[in-house]
Structure 1
């Protein structure tokens, strides 16, 4: 008998069974008797103990033994030694609600916590404190009042393949760096699915985060973190909410049906939002508030209840490029009080309105396809905006609407099949409209209203408008020159006075004689109200010559 006991001890394996048929009846007694590297196998049963592990050993449960605690106000297990393995237990109930308490509390490095069920804690399920290098995998953690898993100054940990539900937070990360949070199912928590506070180098990847009562991922005062390939659904607030953070990379996530924003960037710098799918969120697909140097590229943003992308309150130096923005209930893309941004090569279609820009300056809109929206592009109270090389088609209202749009350049666009005006201008000054093709407008090709002055209309092709080509209803000192006005139904040009017309082609002018075979000898009369007549004394006989194309 002595020989058998010595042989068992030499093997480094001890058995705990509360039925009395193992080496010990209590787990703590086995821990106290163990040596470095030993394995303790705990048989199925209920163990009313509070455990302290102070040496590197493995605790393995067979049949999911339950640790319920002798004193329920203490952690059910405290790990004070590095390299501990905790595998296959149920930890049930811990009523100590202090901020750093938990059912499983880890204070040393390199633990492996695997295949456990942890529930009913008045504080956290698992708490990793001031330590590093842990593996937390394949656990079920639910119904903790605080977080399912807390990391506080816990670095280089891997949290993977866990089911985390009905806790306060799913995973709460604070003052930690270079952790990997991967392939967890995080659901039905009363706070955020994942909260990242004052941390950096975090990698959040491949998680399914759904039905949480606040945000899917909340990210505050944290830098250089990566959120990639997560599925975030049905959160009450935003899918990903990033606040006062630097260099956050948000890539290839699917974010659907959240109660506010798909992605919300608030006071951030150098965020990258790339290749995400953002759909059916209750407000915006992407909201950018007071943020700088954001890159919003290659995303699919569709069917959001308000806007596809919103930039507000001095958001600046952002690149919005190569996105597909469609079927959003209000605007595809809106700028409010935001400047120095670039919108390039996006597909923007079937939104209530395409692009809306208000109270902003120094933005550029280049090489986008904007089709089947209300307004294709609406600029209101803006300055020094460049709109170039876009195709704006099938707008149910104006193709481009400018209201108090000053010192801007609208050039080389194709504005096709607008139900109202191709370009509609109100109270704008110093704007150049040049080299555009404005075809088949339901109203006017270009209509100018309400004291618009010193604008230039140069080298535009305006053809087949249902009402007229260029209609200068009200304004002075505007110049229309080198345009080709072809087959517009009611008139090619109309001017109520005070403007200059020079060197245009008019399809209804039949030149009897020409200078140098290109200029008509007789002037073209542009009529207006109350008998006003303005003359173009150098009308061209060839539209291609007039356009210089």
Structure 2
């Protein structure tokens, strides 16, 4: 009984399978019969048509039109969802008798695929203006045109891949488009020295992607002027043309890209984001021989510059000056040969710098004079500055500078004169084992200004050994440093003391300068912060000066270091 049921089930399963196979065979046969063969176009009359336009006119949506090798002197309009392709060499070429200005135009929001053809000698190679389609252009060569591909005002997600464009003006124009196009593995070249832009994306929206694109001798290379799109440029090479994102408001990224020699007759900016207000990332990118490397002046967005190489800029490598009110993060970046490494003069924004290397500037490593924003500089290196490593003259923000090498320039290392807040510059190497010079008494790079904390400092360029406070309690002032060097006949001397460690109770204790008879001291007050140079005016006509903790509070001790220790003996100032 069980065996009989199994046989019935087996028979039923086999019968069903046979019926399914027969049905599939019939369906496949019917489908093959229904599917039309490629429509063939040949100039010698061996195909279905000798004209590409005639083939399109006779085709239906989803038809494939295969074009045999040859030169086709006709302007083409595609108004159907067809595939136009070739496995030979096909040139859609202009001639004097043709009055139309376009090689291939797309109408009625058709979504064709154009594969493998050459388009030569037209004003516009492919015109897809004001369309709402997902046009596909692959393996196409467009030559001797004013504009290679015109997607002005389009809203579709069109794609250009493995295409070469040689233009007298613009490679791809997608002005005012709002779709999410992709341009990949494409080369755009100029035919003359006065050509325009490689890609125009002015006032665009959407999410354009430009990847593995090479643009040569077109300036700017890519223009996202006043764009609110969230665009990305990746793995691309721009020669003699930069990226213009002036007044852009979108969230955009530039990654793994090289920008070399931007500008045709004169140098131009590598990445111009002046007055932009979006959020941007520039990462793993090299900019060589620009005027300004990256211009973020007057912007108020959030910017991240990471793993960027800037070489041989005739102006500033990075500009975040002149009204910058956003936030800039600069990491793992190298600047070599520039006016200033980072120009943040008069900026209002905040910036964080880490692992920045600046070498061979005419000016400063970082110029933040008259800036109002807060800043942090960590793990960075400044060598061979023409002016100063860091300039914060008249700045108002809070500055933290740590774990860095500041070897100075011709005008010093850190200039903090008239800075409104205390500059914390502890745990840095100043180019000498005994610390900075200037308002401090070492032989390294000079510090300008008394509102700088620099203790402890590193005594070696490998940043392994820290200095320590040398004295505490009552101190005999030694003769290791005199400022100013020329002591006036009036016997007046400025004495500066720096507290390197606060007492255990957390208070900034008063200090007392004990003088022998004949020595007067003025402007003695309470120290402002640990590491703060503490200045008093001393007039000496007696013996050596001693500095000691307030004798009325002997337990409230403070470790300190004399910044301008000088033995003042009678008649020597």
TM over 0.5: yes
- Find the counterpart in structure 2 of residue 538 from structure 1: 548
Q: Residue 184 of structure 2 is aligned with which of 182, 191, 196?
A: 182
* 2-structure distance, mates of 1:35, 1:521: 100
Higher strand share: 1
Q: Structure 1 stretches of 5 or more lacking a match?
A: 1-6, 76-95, 97-101, 426-437, 449-454, 465-480, 506-518
Structure 1: how far apart are the matches of 2:458 and 2:441? 5
Instruction: Verify the 8 A CA contact 2:233 2:254 in the aligned structure 1.
Output: yes
What is the CA-CA distance between 1:309 and the residue it aligns to? 1.0
1:143-182 paired onto structure 2 within 5 Å: 143-176=144-177, 177-182=179-184
Alignment of 1:275 onto 2:275 = no
8 Å CA contact 2:93–2:121 kept in 1: the answer is no
Q: Distance in 2 between matches of 1:344 and 1:459?
A: 18
- Cα drift, residue 24 of structure 1: 3.5
Q: Is the aligned partner of 1:377 residue 2:384?
A: no
**Closer, same or farther in 2 for the Cα pair 1:58/1:162, shift >3 Å?**
closer
Report the 3-state secondary structure (helix = DSSP H, G, I; strand = E; otherwise coil) of the residue aligned with 1:366.
strand
Partner of 2:196: 191
CA distance in structure 2 between the aligned counterparts of 1:463 and 1:484, rounded to whole angstroms: 24
Partner residue of 1:235? 240
Are positions 1:44 and 2:69 aligned together? yes
TM-aligned CA deviation for residue 31 of structure 1:
3.7
> Taking structure 1 as reference, are residues 112 and 485 closer, same or farther at Cα in structure 2, changes over 3 Å only?
farther
Instruction: Determine which of 297, 320, 333 is the counterpart of 2:329.
Output: 320
Q: What does residue 89 of structure 2 align with?
A: 64
Higher relative contact order (CA 8 A, sep 6+): 2
CA offsets 1:305-358 (integer angstroms, 9 cap, x no match): 232211122111222331323213221111122112223313223132311113
Please show how residues 78-97 of structure 1 align to structure 2 within 5 Å: 96=101
Decide which of 313, 333, 337 is 2:342's aligned counterpart: 333
* Alpha-carbon displacement from aligned partner over 1:512-536 (angstroms, at most 9, x marks no partner): xxxxxxx999659899898578955
Deviation, 1:161, is 1.4
Question: Which residue is 1:394 aligned to?
Answer: 407
What is the RMSD computed on CA atoms of the aligned residues?
A: 4.2
Map of 1:302 onto structure 2: 310
2:80, 2:112 within 8 Å by CA — same for their partners in 1?
no
Point out where structure 2 has 5 or more consecutive residues left out of the alignment.
Answer: 1-31, 460-471, 501-510, 522-535, 562-573
Q: Which residue of 2 aligns with 1:212?
A: 217
Counting matched residue pairs gives 467
SS in 1 for 2:132: strand
Match of 2:249 in 1: 245
Taking the aligned partners of 2:406 and 2:452, their CA distance within structure 1 comes to: 20
- Aligned equivalents of 2:434 and 2:539: distance in 1? 25
Q: 1:257 aligned to 256, 261, 271, which one?
A: 261
Note closer, same or farther for the CA distance 1:48–1:178 as it changes in structure 2 (3 Å cut).
Answer: closer
Asked if the contact 1:14/1:39 (under 8 Å) is kept, the reply is yes
Change (3 A) 1:15 1:298: closer
Determine which structure has more spread, i.e. the larger CA radius of gyration: 2
Is the CA contact (8 Å cut-off) linking 2:85 and 2:116 kept in structure 1? Answer: no
Q: Counterpart of 1:209 in 2: which secondary structure?
A: strand
Pair 423,360 (structure 1): closer, same or farther in 2 beyond 3 Å: farther
Q: For the Cα contact (< 8 Å) 1:50–1:71, is it kept in 2?
A: no
After the TM superposition, which residues 340-355 of structure 1 pair with which residues of structure 2 at under 5 Å, given as runs? Answer: 340-352=349-361, 353-355=364-366
Corresponding position of 1:285: 293
Deviations along 1:131-180, whole A, 9 cap, x unmatched? 22111111111221134443431421111111122341111112222111
- The TM-score with structure 2 as length reference comes to 0.69
